[in-house]
Chains A and B, each alone.
Chain A
Amino acid sequence: MLNVLRKTLQSPIISIQRLFNTSPILSTQKFDIKRIPLDDEGVQGEKIVDLDSVIKSKQNLFPTLESDDTLFDGIPYKSLPICNIRVTHNNTIITLTDAAGTVKLIKSCGIEGFKNTKKGTNIAAQTTAISLATKAIDRGFKTVRVKVRGLGPGRLASVKGLQMGGLEIVSVTDNTHVSWNPPRPRKARRL
């Protein structure tokens, strides 16, 4: 009995004493729909890229029906010279061909003077690309489309080198040969 009395007495006193009510308001009483945050679309990191959004935002990045006949430097896309880059772990070979595929220029890291393991470095690839580009400009090639095949250290460097050498690159294509039902590959390396 006493307890109950005390509680009833105390409760008004407490409410008077406490001018600041730090406890949160009951959410059911003051529920506002605006307090629900919007859908979080996430922060776009460096590694995580949503290709769909890129496709939506940037047009003319990928070839279409008309891209074959669009003019680049006065030449339609389909008759631009092609720069084929063959990248392996141990070497990088760059050839410049016309649109039909006949080879006009050929350079590799080995030709450039790098020997043995030095052939398979990005620096070798870049210098090779630069020297090929300068030679190509002498021959009268200005704008090219690039086809890259294979994986290796020279993959990015060689494309970069072509640009540094002064060639204008219209497009970059990956031409790595892949098959989902290939003939039996060579036996695995024993490490």
Chain B
Amino acid sequence: MLITARLLANRHPQFIARTVFVKNNNVDDACRMVNRIIGKEGILERFRLNQYYEKPFQTRRRINHERCKAIYNEDMERKIKFVLRKNRHEPFPGCH
């Protein structure tokens, strides 16, 4: 409730999102955590994309490439999982 009230009162409330407290004077860790958060949320990527105008043909190409990559990665992940699977009911398949 209080948070919603605060959000309604201020369109750009500070020190709520993307904030990490420093523990034990370990600034490096806190910075790394912040970087990780903004990297994971895609904020860095957005920032980089918006620095220069991306022409529509470039957008199309980028998105198509991302799609292909995602499909490839998904299949490859499945393949690797299959090859590296360890939980076999028969520990030595094909050895008898």
Contacts and interface: CB of A to CB of B under 8 A. Distances in A.
Given A49-B36, A160-B27, A185-B53, A173 B92 contact: no
Contacts of B18: 173-175
Interface residues of B, number: 43
Interface stretch (A3-11, A20-28, A102-110, A133-141): A20-28
A41 interface: no
Top 5 closest A-B pairs, CB basis?
Answer: A174-B18, A188-B52, A27-B90, A173-B19, A172-B30
A2 interface: no
B88 to A, nearest CB: 8
Interface of A: 23-24, 26-28, 31, 35-37, 39-40, 49, 51, 54, 58, 60-63, 65, 67, 77-78, 145, 147-148, 151, 155-156, 159-160, 162-163, 168-180, 182, 184-189
Q: Is the interface of A mostly helix, strand, loop or mixed?
A: loop
A171 B21 contact: yes
B31 A159 contact: yes
Contact of A63 (B16, B48, B53): B16
A159 B38 CA distance: 17
A76 B37 CA distance: 26
B51 A27 contact: no
Contacts of B96: 23-24, 26-27
Contact of A151 (B22, B37, B44): B44
A65 B3 contact: yes
A172 B52 contact: no
B21 A60 contact: yes
B50 A54 contact: no
Contacts of B27: 159-160, 162-163, 169, 172
Contact of B53 (A78, A180, A188): A188
A8 B22 CA distance: 79
Nearest to A177: B47
Contacts of B25: 163, 168
Contacts of A185: 50-53
Name the residue among A26, A36, A173, A186 with the largest chain B CB count within 10 angstroms. Answer: A173
